[in-house]
Each structure stands twice: as structure tokens, then as C-alpha cells.
């Protein structure tokens, strides 16, 4: 049944450990003969080559082995900190999708499909472009900087009297605007902060000065002043605050879908297409909910589907 379906597929995506699909008789080499246009995407822990190709992987393992844990957190001597979201899981999916799109475009030119191979490991490494650049250029591994930037200052989260805000005042234009907004014009001539390079070298002193000033007023007040001065800045929001923010609503990034007979909220589409807009049309399916629908799309007759259900080869949410 599966081979019959795969013979008509444009794309197969799997994330088993290396060798599992081959053990099922569903590896790329065994399928491409019947379907030479097949695009076969494999997302593993470490990729299909190299000394760790046979190892399984999880997001936490990938974050640790790609340096992400070593550059996340508040500073030297503190325990390593995992990025809150599973960034390697998410990024590997995006990399896989982009690889599939590239392979489909190539197939449109040649008629031939191909294997797409990516991993959580590579997804983690690609997230370290700043830190990797520093390490490769200097021979020194950078450490955690909290919310600060490895090459720009001030560019971080800072506390006010009643909450935290983020400030991007690192280039000279925004640095002078920031000083105007904070009424700290005396720092213009301070050699410790005269250039971005100087501010990076004196980051601790810079942070102390800015924090002392920002803690004299509320986050709302400072954000108002920074907006008026055209300094990039924003509040540090909780998840619910972010999900209810007017910008989130305007961009339709929270939508309602039907799930189990009732309306539930979920994230919307993050890419807007002008001519073919995409939508989130329904909630996550129950186990086997669309078995009959999918089999029908792949040319199975009603009697065949009923036999597959009866024999237990496939299940149905509604059976």
C-alpha cells in the first residue's frame, strides 16, 4: 500500500534515525526506480555522513554540541542555558522545506528528483553565524552575553523602573539619538563610549550608566521618548502579551480553527502571499482521521479502503 502511494508522491519527508526507512524497504534508492522524480527529504540528528551519522539526536543534544548552550545565558561561570524554543527542531524543518523547494525547482528543469539531507546539527550551527564568525576570525570561542550583542553596543535588554525594554542604539546615529532621549548628552564626549568599538570594550560601564538612567522612569515613558527620537526599541513581553499585541492581531498571527468540535486558537501563517494567500484551515488531526480521504486521493477504490480498514492495516479516527 505504502509503495503504491509513494510511486505517485512528489515529496517524501522523514526524520527517522539513519537506516530505519531502509529497514522498512522504503529508502530513497529503493523508491527512486519506480518514481525517478521523487524528492526525498531526510532530517536526522547529525546528517547522513560523518562519524555521528548513525547517532540519534534531539534538540537539546544539538544545542549543546553546536555551541548554542555555550553562548546562551548570563555570563562566565554560570550553568549553560538552552534556548527557550527548540530552535534546531524548528530550523531543521525550515532548512528541509527550502531544500525541497530547491529540489522541486531542479526537477522542473530536469525531470529528475533527488535526496535532500539536513539535520538538527547543521540547523544549530547555522544559527551561530555571529559567534562562528568571531571564533573563526580570532581563534577564541565567545561566551554568553545575556541579551547583549557580540559586536554592537548598546544592543540589549535593559531594566527600567517597572520592567525591561530592548534598545538598539549601537550605530552612531542611533547612539546620539539615544543620548538625546535619555538626556545624557554629556556622554557624547566621553572617550569610553565615543565609538561602537569603545562601547564594546567598556560594555560593563556603559550598561551601568544606561541602567541607572532608565530606572528613573517607567518602561512606557522611555519607550515613548525613544519612539519620538526614532531609536529602535521595544518592550519585553510575556507570551500572552505578545500573542494579544495589536501587531500580532493585525498580522493575523493568532487564528481560530476547529479542533474536536470546538474553536481553539493557534498560530497563523507567518508568510503572506499577495496572489495565493495561505490559511490555517483546520486543527491537528486525530490519529487516522484522514486515512480514507488520503487513500482516496491516491487512487484507492472504496472497496479497497474498506478492506484496509477492516483488516487493521490502516486506522480511522471515525471507525
Closest residue by Cα to residue 267 from 285, 277, 279, 259: 279
**Neighbouring residues of 263: CB distance < 8 A, sequence distance ≥ 6:** 256, 257
Closest residue by Cα to residue 255 from 275, 281, 237, 276: 281
User: For residue 27, what is the DSSP state?
Assistant: -
User: For residue 155, what is the DSSP state?
Assistant: E
Closest residue by Cα to residue 115 from 131, 128, 96, 129: 96
317: β partners = none
Q: HSE, CB side, 13 Å, CA atoms: give it for residue 76.
A: 3
Catalytic, 89? Answer yes
- Give the chain's radius of gyration (CA, Å): 26
Strands laid side by side in the 233-235 sheet: 155-159, 164-168, 233-235
The whole-angstrom separation of Cα 185 and Cα 178 is 9
The whole-angstrom separation of Cα 209 and Cα 224 is 20
Q: How many other β-carbons are positioned within 10 Å of the β-carbon of residue 236?
A: 16
Phi, psi for residue 13 in degrees, rounded to 5 = -125, 125
Element (H, E) at 104: helix 87-110
The strand ranges marked E within 15-100 are 39-44
The whole-angstrom separation of Cα 298 and Cα 6 is 9
Catalytic entry in 10, 89, 162, 189: 89
Catalytic site positions: 89
Amino acid at each position: 500500500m505504502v509503495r503504491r502511494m509513494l510511486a505517485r508522491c512528489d515529496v517524501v519527508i522523514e526524520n527517522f534515525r539513519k537506516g530505519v526507512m531502509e529497514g522498512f524497504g522504503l529508502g530513497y534508492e529503493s523508491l527512486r526506480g519506480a518514481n525517478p522524480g521523487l524528492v526525498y527529504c531526510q532530517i536526522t540528528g547529525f546528517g547522513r555522513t560523518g562519524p555521528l551519522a548513525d547517532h540519534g539526536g534531539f534538540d537539546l543534544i544539538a544545542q549543546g554540541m553546536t555551541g548554542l548552550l555555550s553562548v546562551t545565558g548570563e555570563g562566565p561561570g554560570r550553568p549553560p542555558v538552552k534556548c527557550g524554543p527548540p530552535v534546531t527542531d524548528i530550523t531543521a524543518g525550515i532548512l528541509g522545506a527550502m531544500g525541497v523547494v530547491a529540489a522541486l525547482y531542479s526537477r522542473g528543469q530536469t525531470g529528475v528528483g533527488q535526496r535532500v539531507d539536513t539535520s538538527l546539527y547543521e540547523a544549530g550551527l547555522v544559527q551561530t553565524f555571529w559567534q562562528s564568525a568571531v571564533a573563526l576570525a580570532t581563534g577564541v570561542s565567545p561566551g554568553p552575553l545575556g541579551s547583549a550583542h557580540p559586536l554592537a553596543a548598546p544592543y540589549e535588554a535593559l531594566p527600567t523602573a517597572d520592567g525591561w525594554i530592548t534598545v538598539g542604539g549601537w550605530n552612531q546615529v542611533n547612539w546620539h539619538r539615544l543620548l538625546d532621549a535619555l538626556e545624557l548628552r554629556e556622554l557624547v564626549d566621553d572617550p569610553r563610549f565615543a565609538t561602537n568599538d569603545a562601547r564594546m570594550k567598556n560594555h560593563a560601564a556603559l550598561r551601568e550608566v544606561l541602567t541607572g538612567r532608565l530606572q528613573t522612569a517607567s518602561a512606557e515613558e522611555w519607550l515613548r521618548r525613544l519612539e519620538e527620537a526614532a531609536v529602535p526599541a521595544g518592550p519585553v513581553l510575556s507570551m500572552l502579551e505578545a500573542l494579544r499585541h495589536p501587531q500580532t492581531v493585525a498580522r493575523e498571527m493568532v487564528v481560530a480553527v476547529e479542533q474536536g468540535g470546538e474553536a481553539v486558537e493557534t498560530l497563523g501563517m507567518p508568510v503572506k502571499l499577495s496572489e495565493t494567500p495561505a490559511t490555517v484551515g483546520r486543527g491537528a488531526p486525530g490519529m487516522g482521521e484522514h486515512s480514507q480521504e488520503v487513500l482516496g486521493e491516491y487512487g484507492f477504490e472504496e472497496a479497497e479502503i474498506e478492506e484496509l480498514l477492516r483488516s487493521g492495516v490502516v486506522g480511522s479516527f471515525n471507525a
